[in-house]
Amino acid sequence: MVKKILIVEDEKLELMALVARFKMENFKVFEASDGEEGLKIALDEHPDFILSDIMMPKVTGIEMITQIRQSGEWGKAVPILMLTGVVEAESISKIVEQGVHDYIIKGAMNMDDVVKKVNDKLSGK
């Protein structure tokens, strides 16, 4: 079965790259460029995986996932991978507290890594 992934990112080029890559990896991709739009799509479509930036206009990534986690059975369980530009340990612990199962620091981001992390999580590794 084709897996559904939601990608939320306000940087156009990055969003484009991620979308193109996951489409190539045979995902059904939903895209959003801010937290508000992301939240709406997430609640409508109940994707199998959410990949999201943190610093975004309107609704931030953290606010978005807090609301998703409070939205019933699906919201509690959906795996979430955050992309973050912030490396400080404090912010990272905050991200993890919010129910994120993993994060990737943008500076060190490599598309192959992102794809691998998503696939590993979905196949239950």
Partner 1 sequence: MEFVLIFFVLVSIVVFVLGIFFYRRSLKLKKKLEEERKNMQRKMYELAILKELGERIGYSLNVQNIIDIITGSLHQFIEYQVVSYMLLQPEKVIFKIHLEESVSRKFIKDIKTRMLKSLSALLNKEFSESQVEEVLTGAVIIDEIESPVQSFFNIPLVIGEKVVGVLTVAHSNPGLYKEEETTILYKITRQASEAVTRLQDVISNEQKKLSAMVESMSEGVVMTDNDYRILVANPAMKQILHIEKEEITIFDFIDNLEGKFDIRGKLEESVKLDKILPVTEVLLDNRYFHILVSPVKVNSGINKGDIIGGVVIFYDISKEKELEKMREDFTSMMVHELRSPLTGIKGISEVMILENKKKKRAKKDAEYATVLLESSSRMLDLVNDLLDVSKISAGKFEIHKEVLPIKDFLKTNVEILSTLAKENKIDLKVSIAKNVPEKVFLDKNRIGQSLINLLSNAIKFTKEGGSVTVQVMSHNKGESIVKEGQENNFSWFIDKDKEEFTNLSSSLFIAVTDSAFGIAEDDIKNLFNKFKQLEASVRSEHKGTGLGLSIVKGIVEAHDGIVGVFSKEGSGSTFYFAIPFETNVIS
- Please report how close the Cβ of residue 30 comes to partner 1 at its closest, in angstroms: 18
Q: CB-wise, 87 or 101, nearer to partner 1? A: 87
How would you class 44 by CB atoms within 10 Å of its CB: exposed for 0-12, middle for 13-18, buried for 19 or more?
A: exposed
Largest CA distance in the chain: 38
Q: Does residue 102 belong to the site contacting partner 1 (CB under 8 A)?
A: no
Pairing of strands 102-105, 49-53: unpaired
Q: CB-wise, 11 or 36, nearer to partner 1? A: 11
Distances (CA, A) of 109 to 9, 20, 106, 115: 14, 16, 5, 11
Q: Does residue 12 belong to the site contacting partner 1 (CB under 8 A)?
A: yes
Taking CB under 8 A as the criterion, which residues in 80-99 touch partner 1?
A: 85, 87, 89
Kindly list the residues in this chain that would bind partner 1 in the complex (CB under 8 A): 11-18, 20-21, 24, 85, 87, 89, 106-107, 109, 111
